[in-house]
Amino acid sequence: MKHQPKTPSRNPAWTRDELILALNLYLECNGAFPAKGDARVQELSDLLNKFWRLQGYSGATLRNTNGVAMKLMNFRVHDPKYAELKGLKAGNKLEKEVWEEFANQPDDLKKTAQAICDIIQNPQEAEEALAPEQEIEAEAVEGQLLTHLHVRRERSKKLIAQKKKAVLENLGQLVCEACGFDFQKRYGERGAGFIECHHTKPLSDLPEERTTRLSDLALLCANCHRMIHAKRPWLSIPDLRDMIKKASQPH
Ligand SMILES: [Zn+2]
Ligand SMILES: [Zn+2]
């Protein structure tokens, strides 16, 4: 399914997925401006062009090497090595978020960047990730590729069945781990056995050879699951529990 370009005359804003790739290269370059003709910049430019062409964008300046190199330099505003730039430039909110999430975790960043790269290189999976029905609110602009990988991990029918079975054997009921909602109690027979699974581990914690463990999955009601993914950064289950508790206290 192809997206229609929304503003074909302008290049699209950088998504979170793209900024993760850019930050990875920035750290590889140690914050230096890449030399003209740097193969890594060319490679990233080619990859991002592939990503946007899948969505119907094109154009000579679309993520060209110059644009990619300039984008890397945006991270200097957040880099303590370039503290003199602080305050001079406001910087972009999404860039700041990506910097804060990954700048001190170069290994996690590398793995996450590799996962994004792999999905773009696989046209079938990329199309699936970019299909509108895959969107979680607010993810369209921020980066659907990583979200797609997350959702795919928590929608494995086999794993979900195993997780529910294990919890039922242990606790005798399926309730939301954040708010305690019980679908069967609320909806009767129709709600029996109904609950969603959320994957609690970031993608970078899962090397290829390690498959999801049942303990990586949490059971959540549909509302709580939505709340976790409604905004970046995604909430942990303890954070969501605290939030619910706080919101229910009298003001
Ligand atoms: Zn809940
Ligand atoms: Zn989830």
- Do residues 124 and 159 share a domain? no
Q: Torsion angle, CA of 131/137/143/149, rounded to 10 degrees?
A: -70
Rounded to the nearest angstrom, the distance between the alpha carbon of 225 and the centre of ligand 2 is 6
- Do residues 170 and 125 share a domain? no
Whether 207 is in a domain gets the answer yes
- Do residues 113 and 161 share a domain? no
Ligand nearest to the CA of 179: 1
Which domain does 183 fall in, by range?
Answer: 155-248
- Do residues 106 and 162 share a domain? no
- Do residues 127 and 20 share a domain? yes
Instruction: Look at residue 210 in the predicted model and tell me its pLDDT.
Output: 61
Rounded to the nearest angstrom, the distance between the alpha carbon of 131 and the centre of ligand 1 is 27
Rounded to the nearest angstrom, the distance between the alpha carbon of 212 and the centre of ligand 2 is 13
CA 212, 213, 218 angle in degrees (round to 5)?
95
- List per-residue pLDDT tens for the chain, 251 residues long: 445 554 456 789 999 999 999 999 999 999 999 998 999 999 999 999 999 998 888 888 999 999 999 999 999 999 999 887 766 667 788 999 999 999 999 999 999 999 999 999 998 888 888 776 544 554 444 567 888 888 877 888 888 999 999 999 999 999 999 999 999 999 999 999 999 999 998 776 655 546 778 888 999 999 999 999 888 788 999 999 999 999 998 87
Whether 145 is in a domain gets the answer no
Instruction: Look at residue 135 in the predicted model and tell me its pLDDT.
Output: 46
Instruction: Look at residue 124 in the predicted model and tell me its pLDDT.
Output: 84
- Do residues 24 and 120 share a domain? yes
Q: Torsion angle, CA of 204/208/213/217, rounded to 10 degrees?
A: 40
Instruction: Look at residue 183 in the predicted model and tell me its pLDDT.
Output: 97
Q: What is the DSSP string of 118-184?
A: HHHHSHHHHHHHHSGGG--TTHHHH-HHHHHHHHHHHT-HHHHHHHHHHHHHHHSS---TTT---HH
- Do residues 215 and 116 share a domain? no
Ligand nearest to the CA of 148: 2
Instruction: Look at residue 155 in the predicted model and tell me its pLDDT.
Output: 82
Instruction: Look at residue 172 in the predicted model and tell me its pLDDT.
Output: 93
Rounded to the nearest angstrom, the distance between the alpha carbon of 151 and the centre of ligand 2 is 6
Rounded to the nearest angstrom, the distance between the alpha carbon of 243 and the centre of ligand 1 is 12
Whether 243 is in a domain gets the answer yes
- Do residues 117 and 173 share a domain? no
Helix (H) or strand (E) holding 237: helix 237-248
Whether 221 is in a domain gets the answer yes
Rounded to the nearest angstrom, the distance between the alpha carbon of 1 and the centre of ligand 1 is 33
Give, in order, the Cα–Cα distances in Å from 245 to each of 144, 197, 239.
31, 22, 10
Read off φ and ψ for residue 219, nearest 5 degrees: -90, 130
- Do residues 160 and 120 share a domain? no
- Do residues 96 and 202 share a domain? no
Rounded to the nearest angstrom, the distance between the alpha carbon of 195 and the centre of ligand 1 is 9
Q: Is 42 helix (H, G, I), strand (E, B) or coil?
A: helix
- Do residues 186 and 112 share a domain? no
Instruction: Look at residue 196 in the predicted model and tell me its pLDDT.
Output: 95
Rounded to the nearest angstrom, the distance between the alpha carbon of 179 and the centre of ligand 1 is 4
Whether 226 is in a domain gets the answer yes
Q: How many domains does the chain have?
A: 2
